[in-house]
Amino acid sequence: MSETNKVDEAPVPVEGLNHVAIAVPDLDAAVAFYREKFGCTVTKIVEVESQGVRMAYVKLADAKLELMEPLNEYSPIAKFLKRNPKGGIHHICLTVPDVAEAADGALVAGIRVLGDGKPVKGYEGQDLFFMHPKDTLGTLIEIEEPEN
Ligand code: CO
């Protein structure tokens, strides 16, 4: 199959990869692992109450790894770790030029936006949303705007 052309006016116009998120049972151990074994720079750890996680980012040249540990047993990450006790890839995050427009576009295109259909706040207060994996080929996809 040949490469396809970019569609103008796609409902969720993806431009890049922001991060791949990994659920971990022990965030401090995961941070130490990436620092010591792989020599990576890792950001400070932040608690994101609204998402029920403690998290940090492993900085890579062109994207990040998001390490997430559940804050409590009600966290969606706690449920994930019940099924995957050693942790594992949880979601990918793609970037769009405008998060609010992309959330509306997803809904119009029949892709469910988790929560109340509106963007929520992330690690540094940035807007983001998640799409239902049943509507996105089985992968949980987060949408953000690029940093800077
Ligand atoms: Co994420």
Tokens matching residue 101: 């427009």
Question: Which domains are present in the chain?
Answer: 16-144 (3.10.180.10)
Instruction: Tell me how far the alpha carbon of residue 2 lies from the centroid of ligand 1, in angstroms.
Output: 31
The confidence score (pLDDT) of residue 49 equals: 86
Q: Measured in angstroms, how far is the CA atom of residue 38 from the centroid of ligand 1? A: 21
Pick the catalytic residue from 66, 142, 144, 145.
Answer: 142
- Per-residue pLDDT tens over the stretch 87-129: 999 999 999 999 999 999 999 999 999 988 888 887 778 899 9
Contacts of 50 (CB under 8 A, 6+ apart): 120, 121
- 121 alpha carbon – ligand 1 mean position (Å): 11
User: pLDDT for 1-47, tens place per residue?
Assistant: 677 777 778 999 999 999 999 999 999 999 999 999 999 999 999 99
Q: Are 28 and 21 in contact (CB under 8 A)?
A: no
- Residue whose C-alpha is closest to residue 95's, from 55, 133, 62: 62
Number of residues that make up the chain = 148
Confidence of residue 48 (pLDDT cuts 50, 70, 90): confident
- Give tens-digit pLDDT for 66-80: 999 999 999 989 999
User: Has 142 been annotated as catalytic?
Assistant: yes
The predicted structure's pLDDT at residue 109: 96
Q: Which residue, among 4, 47, 7, has the nearest Cα to 27 in the 3D structure? A: 47
Q: Write the CB contacts of 101 (distance below 8 Å, at least 6 apart in sequence).
A: none
CA of 1 to the centre of ligand 1 (A): 31
* pLDDT on residue 145: 94
Asked whether the predicted pLDDT for residue 148 surpasses 70, the reply is no
How many helices and strands in the chain, by DSSP H and E?
3, 9
Q: Which two tokens stand for residue 46?
A: 């932040």
Which residue has tokens 């998402």? 51
Give the SS3 label for residue 137. coil
